[in-house]
Amino acid sequence: MPGRNRPADLAPFEASLGGHPLTAPESGAQAPCMPGYQCQSCGAPVTVGEPIPRDSECESCRHDLRCCKNCRHYDTRYNNSCRETEADPVEDKERRNFCEYFAFNPAPFGGAQGKTAQTRAADARAKLDALFKKKPESQ
């Protein structure tokens, strides 16, 4: 609308912008998005926003999202696999729980980097076989 830049013609919130009318966002502008959380069971992006509800599940693998495995405090090197010293012990780390200290882990999915239990067992068996293998007899 031509001539709308006079302070009397502007809405109250536009007047606080120094007399500049509001304009539509640029075509390439994007709304700020939530952090790129990933399910630690399958690596799929998490579409649920903070705070993560207790009953939320991953849309890809249907595992619980609010569980120890997805928490930033989860660390198997610590007592009860948790860096938070005040947290109550949780028996099943892959199931939902009522932990008050839950904060979604911002780290990327580490499943492709880590070894699964089956590959660890196969590696251990191969090392044992190599250790106890009969050595060729010397002449």
pLDDT at 60 over 60: yes
What separation in angstroms does the CA of 124 have from each of 111, 117, 131, 133? 20, 11, 11, 14
Mean pLDDT of the chain: 76
pLDDT at 59 over 70: yes
pLDDT at 73 (0 to 100)? 92
CB neighbours of 75 closer than 8 A, spacing ≥ 6? 81, 82, 83
Cα(84)–Cα(1) distance, rounded to whole angstroms?
59
As a whole number, mean pLDDT of residues 112-122 equals 63
pLDDT at 33 (0 to 100)? 47
